[in-house]
Chain A
Amino acid sequence: GNSVTQMEGPVTLSEEAFLTINCTYTATGYPSLFWYVQYPGEGLQLLLKATKADDKGSNKGFEATYRKETTSFHLEKGSVQVSDSAVYFCALSGQAGTALIFGKGTTLSVSS
């Protein structure tokens, strides 16, 4: 079945450091891929998405490129801020009418 694997956290960075959170997936067909973010005490919210191979999703300085050849969708940001501290979830959606499948989440902590 479909699944998502994320790098284990927590990830601890200083402000303005470069961020990479790895995500790989297993899926049949051509899934859509997503990154969701969960700020402390809140529900998840969509950060960015990509719906086909080689698409790049971007939002708030974060980027991720849909790589079919490596089945990956790594999240990157060139310069993190303290306000980026949150839990990041990689997710995929397969066939129409199916629910999103989430990875376990990666906690990011940014210090000033």
Chain B
Amino acid sequence: DAGVIQSPRHEVTEMGQEVTLRCKPISGHNSLFWYRQTMMRGLELLIYFNNNVPIDDSGMPEDRFSAKMPNASFSTLKIQPSEPRDSAVYFCASSLLGGRPNEKLFFGSGTQLSVL
């Protein structure tokens, strides 16, 4: 299996522009997570989906952030408009959640976002 695939690996954009991050989870996994990593705050959960349905989006910073999962093999995280404080590494992770506490997440390599 190729693992969790994220694209792009690096994104540099200017303030005010729209940014779309993409994620392909591991085939067969039914849960997908978006995390943001910064030096100041560490690893923060933004949102997670179970069976393509958003379960908890309380970590989404504000309305500029939105996430979708149109099918089991694809998810996007969009920031519109982007701001310099959004600069971070964004990770997507997936897992097989079988009704038990979530035990093992498989992370992608992340997208390094820089908003100038």
Contacts and interface: CB of A to CB of B under 8 A. Distances in A.
Q: Do A and B bind each other?
A: yes
Interface of A: 31-32, 34, 36, 41-46, 49, 51, 89, 93-105
Given A49-B103, A97-B50, A99-B56, A43 B97 contact: no
Contacts of A97: 50, 55, 97, 99, 102
Given A41-B109, A42-B109, A43-B110, A103 B42 contact: yes
A104 B55 contact: no
Contacts of B4: 43
12 contacts: A31-B101, A32-B103, A36-B105, A43-B91, A43-B108, A45-B107, A97-B55, A97-B99, A98-B102, A100-B45, A100-B102, A101-B45
B43 A104 contact: yes
Contacts of A101: 45
Most buried by A among B4, B43, B50, B100: B43
B80 to A, nearest CB: 24
Contact of B101 (A45, A46, A98, A103): A98
Nearest to B98: A96
A66 to B, nearest CB: 13
B72 interface: no
Contacts of B107: 42-45
Contacts, number: 65
Contact residue range for chain B? 20 to 34
Contacts of A105: 42-43
A31 B105 CA distance: 16
Given A89-B43, A104-B43, A44 B55 contact: no
A96 B42 contact: no
Interface in B54-89: 55-56
Contact of A44 (B41, B91, B101): B91
B101 A32 contact: yes
A35 B62 CA distance: 30
Contacts of B43: 44, 89, 102, 104-105
